Each structure stands twice: as C-alpha cells, then as structure tokens.
Structure 1
Amino acid sequence: MTPLLSVENLSIGFGSGEAVVKDVNFDVMPGETLALVGESGSGKTVTCRAVLRILPRAAQIRSGRITLNTEKGPLTLSEMSERKMRDVRGDQVSMIFQEPMRSLSPLHRIGNQVSEVLWLHRGASEKEAKRQVLQTFERVGFPDPERAYRSYPFEMSGGMRQRAMIAMAMVSKPDLLIADEPTTALDVTTQAQVLGLIKELQQETGMALILVTHDLGVVANMAEKVVVMHKGRVMEAGAAEPLLKSPAHPYTQQLFNAAPAIPAEATLAPPLPDDDLILEMNKVNKTFTMRSGSAWKPDVLVHACRGVDLKLPRGKTLAIVGESGSGKTTAARIALGAELPDEGSEVLFRATPGADPITVHKMDRATRTAFQRDAQMVFQDPYSSLSPRMRVQDAMTEPLEIHKIGTKSEQRDKAAQMLQRVGLNSDMLKRYPHAFSGGQRQRLSVARAMMLDPSLIVCDEPTSALDVSVQEQILTLLEELQEGLGLSYLFISHDLAVVARIADEVAVMRQGLIVEQAPPDTLFYNPQHPYTKALIAAQPEPDIERPINLKLVAQGAGSPEKWAEAFRFTDTMVPSLVELEPGHKVRCHV
C-alpha cells in the first residue's frame, strides 16, 4: 500500500548553525495515526512545519524529500512552489497549532476565521459555510456555537481558543491532519471528546493523522505507530503496542518513568489546618455581560463564579480543577485583584501569620503595590504573557525595576539564577521569547513569577504546555520552593495526575460552581459527583489496554440537567455544598 506521506532523510537547520533535525524518516499510511513523541525542543514541531513549508525565515531544509501521494499523483512538497503549496495547506493537509493566541487573528471574529477555509478551498457560500462551521463547533464541544461564532479570540479562555483551532483544521475534512499538541490547553473531558471526534472523522473520511504530543496517555489512546525524537534525531520507531508495552531505548524508558499518574493506592492525609490562612474567598460571585450581537435582543448575563468559598492555608497547595470556561481562571484573577467580584463577595489576604487581612478587591494604590510583591501569577499561555519585543533579561528584571529592588547587576544575577532554577541556561538571557519552544517559554514564565520572592503564587495551568520530563522538573521545583520558602499555591489545572501529586486540597468547578471539594486521596478514591467521576475517567493513561471510557466521560461532562436527580442543577435551582464526611463536600440535594 502506498503511504499518504513519506518523509525521507529530512535535515533542517537555522542559519549556519548545526542541524536541529537530522536524517528523520517516517511514513504515514491513509487513515493511520502516527504519534511524534519527545521533549520540548526535540524537533517534532519543526519537522511538521517542514511538511507544510511554514518554517521560520532563518530555517532551511538542508536535505531530504517530503512526498504527499494524492489521487492525482505524488506531490513533492519539499520542492513545490509557494503558489502551489497554498492549494495544499488547509485543504489536503491541515494543521492544529499549539498556541492558539498566536495563530488566531485578534481582529476577526472566530466564525469568519474558520469559515475562510471553506470559502477559499470549497467555494462555499457564506450561509453554507456558517452551517458547516456551527456543526463543527458543536462537535468540538462549544456549549454555545452561535456565541462562539460571533466572538473574538480575546473573549475566550485558552481552552475555548484551542477548540476553535481544532474546528478550523477539521472543517474542510483534510486527507492529512497534523496536530501539534492539540489538547494541551483542553480539560481532560473535552480532550477525551476531541480525541474521540478525531477518531470518528478518521473513520468517516479516511483522514490520516500526525499527532505531536508529550502525553503518553494520549499516544496510547490514539496511535498505531510511534516515532520518538530527541535532539533532532529518531531514537525509536515502530508499531505503538510493542513500543508502549516494552520501550527499548533508554530515552523512551525515561519518558515513561517521568509520566505523572494518579497513585494506585490512597494514603490518607490529615485535615488541613485553618488557623493560619493566607487567602480566603467568601461567597465570591462574578457576573459578566455579553453583548447579544443584535439591537433587538437583550445582552446575556454569564455567571462565571457563583458562591465560591475557598480557604488556602499558608504553605499549602489548593488546586481548582474543571473544564475550560468553568470559572477556574476567573476565581484566580479575583484572588489576585485582577478582576473585581460582584457586590457582597469577600477576598482576604494575609501576607504574614497573624497580620491584619487585606481586602483584595478594595485596595488603595500603596496597598496594591505591596500586595503585588507578595502575590504573583504564572499564566497558561506563555506566548501572550511574555512580550515578543523584550529580551528575556528585560522581561525577567522588569518586576525588580518596577519595585526598585537591587542594582542593575544584582537584577541580572538574580535573573540568571532563576533561569538555572527552572532548568534553563543563563546564556539565554539575551534571546527573545520566539527563540524558545513552548515548554521553554513556560519555564521562563515560572522563573519571572519567582523574581519578587512572593509568598503566594497563582499557577494557571503552569504545566499544560510542558513535556513530561520538564513537567516533572517544574513540579519538583515548585515542591522544593514551597518546602524551602514556605510558598502557598493556588493551582489551576485540568490534569488530575499533576493535581494528585502537588495538591493538599482539591476543589472541582463546573459552570461557576464548586461541585465537590476534598483532599486528593478522598476525591480520587471516593468521588461522589458525576462530573468528578467523568474527570477521573477521562484521564489518559500510558497503557494501550486501558482506553478512555468515552461513555462515562459523556455522562458526567454532559448537561447538568441530565445528571442523576441528587446532583442535578439549573440556572434557577442549585443544590447546596453538603459535607458528606469530614473534609469532603459535595454539591447535592440531601
């Protein structure tokens, strides 16, 4: 059988430097899923960008051949003119990019950007394109496809933007889909549904898939073939089942050992102390007004947070888990004073034990400046949180300059020290953010947050863009910093394996409400709420014989109005958060 795509002896370099991709070979058969696995910076993304010829200007294909075998005959993509490549991109070969904020135009509505593929390559009318786009939006998990169609990228959460990117790549039903970390910004339930959707599309259309990922659980659920890359070279390649069951190369074994997992046995932890709280959130509500898009329709009220009560003891980690759009990040922004809650809400912060609490949403300028030294945030999307016009050194030292801490040389020394603590070299200070891989940029964000020696760090999906080995380093770093400096973390995540490792308390959010709250051991081994059960079922495991149970995921991740009667809620009827056992709260009708 003829491969759909053949990559032969591919080598890619930047400028006059050493090749970053060296002699890479692989074939993708029609309808097959091939997973490209490896650490951040291993050459996976550059290899895939070479297929579509969208490499950076400084990069050049030094040797090799890339062939796409179509119904009309073979196309040598590595030698085609730019004009002919435009007909291939988005039509026969589509790509889902890792960083949606960088890939979507901030000036155009999401619906128009996705429809463009159908206008250009299918000659679809505006009405027909909109129908197909809304259909695709529904399939990738948008709760309100019409609203998503009218929205701009900045009006959406990171997970919602990633769903839009997935819809854009899949709407034209290409022969080959290249998915570069397509689910890193998605919560696990949506990830499971999107992976199921991609599989469905493959069965319907015979589409082939190149899946670039660092998540071995995703590989186990999706791939027929695996290519493991490290420093631009292929370390190991072959059929997925034998490779995942018994990896031969030491590097592949190292990746498996670093993969986080929910522990097999519970070790009950003592209840958290509440005599020294660094952060308290009491009855926090937040309502946004979304424009209707029509002069004849009223604006829509969106309840991002509804009666959120959280307590974070000093030196501990409180994790908030939930799907994209559940209100996790809004709660975190309110905790940092970046978003004002509705009237009647209360957010209290105590910088030191026994200190008088600061009311975060009622700070004057001097109090806010002091508070910003004590509380910092690591953002989900490192590309949008780092200025593309500032060198790393300037981005790192900027907080110290604002707060007038240290001399220029002391600031540089601290920046170099922080880079080394997060696993980067100090000689990277002179580079710009675009010169780093997605995972490296996230490490820069962590280092920048540490520059002011804060006592509270809000981590908004800090490991979602990282490969497993670097994720392991960052989690170890966060644990070491917490132990050595007594740091407190408000940790936002959709990765339950990460939460199981780092959290002392977990709050599960859905549609602005906390639906279940308990220490991780209780939550993961005795979950009561259907949504919590869906989150656990959706967690991909690097075991080819334990696929994701999509039916169980769909039950808990579906509409709250379809849950079992004890847990059901609507906009007008919401059950209370009830303590079923000491430290274990569930939102249910008693």
Structure 2
Amino acid sequence: MRPLLSVEDLTISFGPGQTVVGNVSFDVERGQTLAIVGESGSGKTLSCRAILRILPRTARITSGRITLDDGTKPVVLTEIGERRLRSIRGDRISMIFQEPMRSLSPLHRIGNQVSEVLWLHRGASEREARRQVLQTFDRVGFPDPERAYKSYPFELSGGMRQRAMIAMAMVAKPELLIADEPTTALDVTTQAQVLGLIKELQQETGMALILVTHDLGVVANMAERVVVMHKGRVMEAGDAEPMLKAPAHPYTKQLFDAAPAIPAETAPAPPLPDQDLILDMRQVSKTYTMRAGSGWKPNVLIHACRGVDLKLPRGKTLAIVGESGSGKTTAARIALGAEPPDPGGEILFRATPDAEPLQVHKMSRSQRTAFQRQAQMVFQDPYSSLSPRMRIQDAMTEPLEIHRIGDRAERRDRAAAMLDRVGLNADMLKRYPHAFSGGQRQRLSIARALMLDPALIVCDEPTSALDVSVQEQILTLLEDIRDRHNLSYLFISHDLAVVARIADEVAVMRQGLVVEQAPPETLFHNPQHPYTKALIAAQPEPDIERPIDLKLVAQGAGAPDSWAQAFRFTESVIPSLVEMEPGHKVRCHV
C-alpha cells in the first residue's frame, strides 16, 4: 500500500552552492503522526513548506520528488500547476504556521478568515460555515467562541491567535495536517487539549500529521515515527518508541540531554525572606472596559488582575505561571509602571536596600525616567521588539542616548562588552536583526536590557519560542547574570520545567487571581489547587510511557465553578489566599 505522502531526496537551495536542505526523504502513512525534530535553522520548516510549494522567493527545489497519493494514481506535487495545487492547499493538505500574526490578515475578522476555507473548498453557505467555525473554536479552547469570531487578530493574545490558526487548518478536516510548532505560543493546559483534539480528529477522519517541533515531550505524546534534522540533513529516523528510549545519533542524544524537566522530589525549601524586597505589589487589580458590539448593550468589564499580592526579594526570581489571559503579563506591566492599577493597589520598588520605597503607581516624570534605568523588560518575541531598520549597535546604545550616558565611543564599547557577556561577538554590532537566529535575537534582547545596569528585569516568556538546546543556553545565561550581578527577576512563563529550574518562588494565576503560591520544590510535588494539578499533569515529558493525563487536565483547566467545593469561585464569591503551611498559600474556602 502506497503512503499518503512521500518525500524523496528533497534538496532546496538559496542560490548557487547554497544548499540548505540536502537529500531529505520520509514517508507519511494515512492516520500516522510523523514528528520532524531539530533546532532552529535545521531545515525542518523549509522541508514542510516545500510540500505545498510556499517557499521564500529566493529558495528553489533543485532536486527531489514529492508525491501525494490520490487513491488511483499519485499526484506529483513538485510538478503539477499552480491552479491544481491551490485546490489541494487548505483542502487535502492544511498547514498550521508558527507565527500567526504574520499569517492572519489584520484587516479581516477571525471568523471570516476561518470560514473562507469552507466557502472555497466545501461550498458552504455563510450560515453553515459560521456554525462549523464556532463549533471548531469551542473545540480548540476559545472561552468565548462568539467573541473570537467577531474579533480582529490584534484584539487577541498570542495564544488565542494560535488557536485561531489551528481552527483554520482543521475546520475542513484535511487528509494531511502539517503543524509547524503548533503549540509553541500556547500554555500547557491548552497545548494538552489541542494535542488531544488533533488525536481525536485523526481517529475520526484518518488524518495524517506532520508535526514540526523542538519539544520532545510533545513528540513522545504524539508521534509514531520521528525524523531528526540538523543543518539540512537527516541525522536519524525511525519508530518513535525505540528512538525515544535509546537514541543512536550523538545529536539526538544532545537534544534529549538539553530538554528541561521538572526535577525529582527534593526537600522543601524554606520560605523566601521578606525583609529586603525590591518589589512589593499590594492588592493590585486591573479592570478593562470593552465596548459592546451594539449601542443598546452595556459595556463589558474584564478583570485582568484581582487583588494580586506579590513580594520579590532582592537577588531572587519570582515566577508567575498561568494560561493565556490569566493576567500574568498584565501584572508584569503594572509592576513596570506601563499600566496603572485600579484605585487601592500599590506597587513599591526599592532600587537599593537602604532606599526609600518608590510608589511606581504614582511616579512623576523624573521618577519614571530614573525608574526605567533600574527596571527593564525582556520580551517574548525578540524579532518584534528589535527594530528591523536599526543596526544592533544603534538598538543597543539607544537606552544610553535616551538617558544621556557616556559619549559615542563609550556607548559603543559598552554595547560590545554586553554582547560579549551574553556570548555574542562585537563584530555583530553592524548587522540588522534579520541576520540572527531566534536564540541570538533573544540574547540581543537580554544584552539590551542590561545596558543600563538595572536591578530588576521582567522576563516575559523569554524562552517559549526557542528550541531546547538554545533554551538551555539562555537559561544558563540568565542564571549566571543574576548570580554575578545580584539581579532580581520577575519571570513570566507557561513552561513549568523552565520555572522549576530558575524560580525561587512560583505564583500560579487563573482568571486574574493568584490561586496557589509556593517554592517550586513544594508546588510541583505537593500541589493542592486543581488548576495547579492540571498545569503539572499537562506538562509533556520526553517519555513515551508517561502520556499526558487529559482527564486530569480537563478537570483543573475547566471552569472554576466545576472545581471541588473548597476551591470553587464565581464573580461574586472569591475565596481568600490561605497559608496551608509555611510559605505555601492556596486560594480556597476554609
């Protein structure tokens, strides 16, 4: 029996002598999941884009053959015309892209963009398409499918936009789904639910899946076969189970060694001291008003944060974890003074142990300028936080120019020293951001944040888009800088394995509330709240014999009114955050 898709000796070049993918071959059977694993720049995305012939303009397929089985005779995708290929794209073969903001039209509502697939390929009426799209939105985890249907891409978070891309690819129930890092921007509970949904669709329709990922935990939960790529070549390929248990190639072993994991149980750490606090957030709430869709409906109040109390000791790392929309980034923005809290909330910052506390929520213009020298942020997406029109030297020295520090030569020397500190070369200063890999761009963002010698750095998902080996390097770098310069981190993440490694204290947020807080040694091995248990259960492990417990995930990630009575809360009745043991707080009724 012929495979559904066959790729034979695929070679892709970016010009004479610039081969980026060389002699790649693999088959995908009906209903099978093939995982393509590798670091950034390994050629895995290019190989998949070649299947649909959506390569960059400068790239071309120099040799090889890609064949799709049509039941009667094979269709050679590398030879057919563009018109016939358009009828296959989005219908028989769909693709989920890694960067949804680039793939979604900013001018059209999300619902219309997803419905377009059904209009073009299924001839569905507007009413029928809307019904199917809303049903798919519900299945991929939109809390309010109707609201998402009417929204524009800029009105949704990164995780929500990724859900929309997944819905768009899956709504027509294709024969083959190519998923390029489909869950990178998603929190672990949503990731677990989306992976479960993809598995369900495979069972219902016999859909085949090519999964491009750097997360070996996802591979262990999804794949039957694995292809490992490095520098455009296949290093190792075979069945998932033997490869995950005993990888043969040194590069595959290196990937496994770099994969973060929640450590085995250790003795509980003592609670953090609260005498020398660099940041103290007291009763911080933030409410946004969203206009209703029509004039006769009342405006909708959205509670992004509700009564958040967080204390960050100097030289320590406080991690905030939670799903998209839980309020963790809003809390970080309020901590940096980028958003004002609702009346009654306080944010106190002490640059040095003997300094008078600065009221971040009541800063004057001059105080804000001084505060910005002491508190910096590393963003989730370094590509959009670095101007594509500025050379790295200009981007690095810009903070020094704003604060009038040093002359041109001194600023340039400081920029070179910072690049050296984060493991990059000074000769990179003349380059533009597009000339760097994702991991290098994240290092540049960290170096830029360090230019003013801050005391506090807010890290907003700094490793979520990085492959495991680069993630390991960035975490080591952050730990080294923190320990050498006594820096304090407010670390935002949805990756519990990363948090378990770097954090001294973890606060779990859901719907704007801190539901549990403790040191990682306590939180990960003695969780009390159902949502914390769901987060831990949803963390994929690179062990084929330890699959994700979707039932436990669904229980904790469900609506708060479905939790056990002790933890249940509604808009009007919210339990207090109770200290169950020293340093371990849980939001529950007592």
In the TM superposition, what is the alpha-carbon distance from 1:519 to its structure 2 partner? 0.5
Name the SS for the 2:34 alignment partner: strand
In the TM superposition, what is the alpha-carbon distance from 1:430 to its structure 2 partner? 4.0
1:446 maps to 446
Contact 1:442 1:465 in 2 (8 A): no
1:55 to 2:52 alignment: no
1:142 maps to 142
CA distance in 1, matches of 2:408, 2:66: 49
Deviates more, 1:243-252 or 1:257-266: 257-266
What RMSD, in angstroms, separates the aligned Cα atoms of the two structures? Answer: 1.7
Identity of aligned residues (%): 82
In the TM superposition, what is the alpha-carbon distance from 1:422 to its structure 2 partner? 3.8
Letter in 1 for 2:21: V
Letter in 2 for 1:141: G
- List per-residue Cα deviations over 1:468-497 (Å, max 9, x = no partner): 111111110000000001111000111111
Pairing 1:289-308 to 2, within 5 Å after superposition: 289-308=289-308
2:13 maps to 13
Name the SS for the 1:318 alignment partner: strand
CA distance in 2, matches of 1:567, 1:408: 58
In the TM superposition, what is the alpha-carbon distance from 1:231 to its structure 2 partner? 1.1
Name the SS for the 1:58 alignment partner: coil
Name the SS for the 1:154 alignment partner: helix
Name the SS for the 2:514 alignment partner: strand
1:511 to 2:475 alignment: no
Pairing 1:445-524 to 2, within 5 Å after superposition: 445-524=445-524
Name the SS for the 1:480 alignment partner: helix
CA distance in 1, matches of 2:416, 2:171: 45
In the TM superposition, what is the alpha-carbon distance from 1:261 to its structure 2 partner? 0.8
- List per-residue Cα deviations over 1:215-251 (Å, max 9, x = no partner): 1100000000000111111111000000000000111
CA distance in 1, matches of 2:307, 2:122: 48
Letter in 1 for 2:304: A
Contact 2:12 2:63 in 1 (8 A): yes
In the TM superposition, what is the alpha-carbon distance from 1:72 to its structure 2 partner? 5.9
Deviates more, 1:79-88 or 1:23-32: 79-88
In the TM superposition, what is the alpha-carbon distance from 1:585 to its structure 2 partner? 0.4
CA distance in 1, matches of 2:515, 2:173: 37
Contact 2:304 2:326 in 1 (8 A): yes
Relative distance call for 1:178 and 1:440 in structure 2 (3 A) is: farther
1:166 maps to 166
Contact 1:38 1:44 in 2 (8 A): yes
Contact 2:270 2:583 in 1 (8 A): no
1:70 maps to 70
Contact 1:284 1:341 in 2 (8 A): yes
In the TM superposition, what is the alpha-carbon distance from 1:426 to its structure 2 partner? 4.5
1:197 to 2:197 alignment: yes
Contact 1:94 1:178 in 2 (8 A): yes
1:282 maps to 282
In the TM superposition, what is the alpha-carbon distance from 1:511 to its structure 2 partner? 0.5
Contact 2:269 2:522 in 1 (8 A): no
In the TM superposition, what is the alpha-carbon distance from 1:105 to its structure 2 partner? 2.0
1:101 maps to 101
Letter in 2 for 1:289: T
Relative distance call for 1:586 and 1:183 in structure 2 (3 A) is: same
- List per-residue Cα deviations over 1:36-65 (Å, max 9, x = no partner): 111111111111122222221222222212
1:230 maps to 230
Relative distance call for 1:118 and 1:396 in structure 2 (3 A) is: farther
CA distance in 1, matches of 2:246, 2:187: 29
In the TM superposition, what is the alpha-carbon distance from 1:441 to its structure 2 partner? 3.4
In the TM superposition, what is the alpha-carbon distance from 1:552 to its structure 2 partner? 0.6
1:568 maps to 568
1:111 maps to 111
Contact 1:99 1:381 in 2 (8 A): no
Relative distance call for 1:73 and 1:376 in structure 2 (3 A) is: farther
In the TM superposition, what is the alpha-carbon distance from 1:559 to its structure 2 partner? 0.8
Relative distance call for 1:79 and 1:442 in structure 2 (3 A) is: farther
**Count of residue correspondences:** 590
In the TM superposition, what is the alpha-carbon distance from 1:437 to its structure 2 partner? 4.2
In the TM superposition, what is the alpha-carbon distance from 1:499 to its structure 2 partner? 0.6
CA distance in 2, matches of 1:26, 1:416: 44
Name the SS for the 1:525 alignment partner: coil
2:548 maps to 548
Relative distance call for 1:132 and 1:299 in structure 2 (3 A) is: same
Pairing 1:219-258 to 2, within 5 Å after superposition: 219-258=219-258
1:331 to 2:367 alignment: no
Letter in 2 for 1:43: G
Pairing 1:13-32 to 2, within 5 Å after superposition: 13-16=13-16, 18-32=18-32
In the TM superposition, what is the alpha-carbon distance from 1:410 to its structure 2 partner? 3.9
- List per-residue Cα deviations over 1:266-293 (Å, max 9, x = no partner): 1322321111111111000001112221
Which of structure 1's runs of 4+ aligned residues deviate more than 6 A? none
CA distance in 2, matches of 1:563, 1:351: 41
Relative distance call for 1:525 and 1:92 in structure 2 (3 A) is: same
Letter in 2 for 1:305: C
In the TM superposition, what is the alpha-carbon distance from 1:180 to its structure 2 partner? 1.0
Letter in 2 for 1:309: D
Relative distance call for 1:199 and 1:426 in structure 2 (3 A) is: farther
Name the SS for the 1:297 alignment partner: coil
Contact 2:326 2:511 in 1 (8 A): yes
Relative distance call for 1:393 and 1:9 in structure 2 (3 A) is: farther
Relative distance call for 1:446 and 1:162 in structure 2 (3 A) is: farther
- List per-residue Cα deviations over 1:314-361 (Å, max 9, x = no partner): 110000011111101111111111111111111111111121122112
1:41 maps to 41
In the TM superposition, what is the alpha-carbon distance from 1:12 to its structure 2 partner? 1.6
Contact 1:40 1:440 in 2 (8 A): no
In the TM superposition, what is the alpha-carbon distance from 1:427 to its structure 2 partner? 4.5
2:122 maps to 122
1:183 maps to 183
In the TM superposition, what is the alpha-carbon distance from 1:389 to its structure 2 partner? 3.0
Letter in 2 for 1:328: K
1:396 maps to 396
Which consecutive residues of structure 2, in runs of 5 or more, have no partner in the other structure?
Answer: none
Q: TM-score, normalised by structure 2?
A: 0.97
